Structure 1
Amino acid sequence: IYENEEIRNMYTALGVTVGTLDDPKALNLVKLRYHKLIIMTDADVDGSHIATLILTFIYRYMKELVEQGYVFIAQPPLYLVKKGKEQAYAWTEEQRKSLVEKIAGGKEDSVNIQRYKGLGEMNSEQLWETTMNPNTRTLKRVTIESAAEADRIFSMLMGDEVAPRREFIESHAKYAKLDI
């Protein structure tokens, strides 16, 4: 895996190497350049899958970053609800409905609802305000437990055993929202 150019670039950008005096396989954080590694993906199902892949890699090869509390996941909103000059962001369908109720008395046709299919649909000001500005963004710290769960799910979905994968897909299909 260390032969992969993108992986080498990531290690170089972070300033980490493999190997310490105590353990030749441990991640060496002596020259770590950043104490916040923020994973920023789209707020939809595809973004969640990408975040799971990244978390799995970090958990397997850079676990020390998680153990030190340096890994975060940005939480971009799914919706912008606007009526006149009043606007608010929503991260879930339930929050969107609540905002429509609050701003427009539940009348959806009287508000403008923008659903973000991806980070690229936000203009630079919206992306800064919701996801990048340290004063207003929402970050979720990754714990060993959440990274281990991402690793477990990834291993199950990509593994050779069909039955657990089928069971997972069937039990989680109700949460999928197709964007077609």
Structure 2
Amino acid sequence: YRHFKPLIEQGRIFIGQPPLYRLQLGKEIRWVYSDKERDASIKELKAEAKTKSAERKSKAAAKKAKGEAADAVEAESMSTDEGTDDGKGGREPAIARYKGLGEMNAEQLWDTTLNPATRTLRKVTLEDAEQADFVFDELMGNEVEGRKKWIMANAKFAELDL
């Protein structure tokens, strides 16, 4: 950040933003970038799955009524849903949390962060650069006492996956 200040001021620096979560229910996969977006997408996926399930059951019942019992049983059992049963007769999407780019395989990385047609870019602002500069100085500088104070003050905000 320190070396690109003129480019940042001109608004010419962008960072590819990787997703935080991969949601999958059935064959549908969604990449989401925040906890709020995750919660909304889960609700949407569950509602869509409920609608599709009702449509499948309706078609199976119609086939069964026409005497196509074998096809109806097959149609009902063709569910290849990824996810888990939520205990209420519905399905929960499978959720994968990504903490960094190293957790994605090459295809996922291309689809979400590198492909110009599908990636999400975030413009780096001067405020971002100033904050990054502060964090680098505070956490990677030579002053141990300042780093210790910062860590102690911000430890309560840490979200640890143990």
What TM-score, normalized by structure 2, do the two folds share?
Answer: 0.61
User: Which residue type is aligned with residue 84 of structure 1?
Assistant: G
SS of the residue corresponding to residue 89 of structure 1 reads strand
Counterpart pick for 1:160 among 133, 143, 147: 143
Gaps of 5+ in 2: 48-85
SS of the residue corresponding to residue 62 of structure 1 reads helix
Aligned length: 120
Q: How far apart, in 1, do the equivalents of 2:154 and 2:14 lie?
A: 24
Greater CA deviation, 137-146 or 113-122?
Answer: 113-122
Identity percentage of aligned residues: 44
Q: How far apart, in 1, do the equivalents of 2:148 and 2:36 lie?
A: 28
Residues 31-82 of structure 1 deviation map (CA, whole Å, 9 limit, x = unaligned): xxxxxxxxxxxxxxxxxxxxxxxx3xxx2x3322222322222210011101
1:120–1:153: structure 2 CA closer, same or farther, 3 Å change rule?
A: closer
Q: How far apart, in 2, do the equivalents of 1:80 and 1:146 lie?
A: 26
The structure with the largest alpha-carbon Rg is 2
Greater CA deviation, 65-74 or 130-139?
Answer: 65-74
Higher relative CO (Cα under 8 Å, sequence separation at least 6) belongs to 2
**Other-structure match for 2:32:** 90
The structure that is helix-richer by fraction is 2
- After TM superposition, give the deviation of residue 88 of structure 1 in Å: 1.0
1:120–1:86: structure 2 CA closer, same or farther, 3 Å change rule?
A: same
Q: How far apart, in 1, do the equivalents of 2:137 and 2:103 lie?
A: 32
1:161–1:127: structure 2 CA closer, same or farther, 3 Å change rule?
A: closer
Q: How far apart, in 2, do the equivalents of 1:103 and 1:172 lie?
A: 35
SS of the residue corresponding to residue 134 of structure 2 reads helix
**Structure 1 runs of 4+ off > 6 angstroms?**
none
- After TM superposition, give the deviation of residue 153 of structure 1 in Å: 2.1
Greater CA deviation, 137-146 or 110-119?
Answer: 110-119
Greater CA deviation, 135-144 or 108-117?
Answer: 108-117
SS of the residue corresponding to residue 134 of structure 1 reads coil
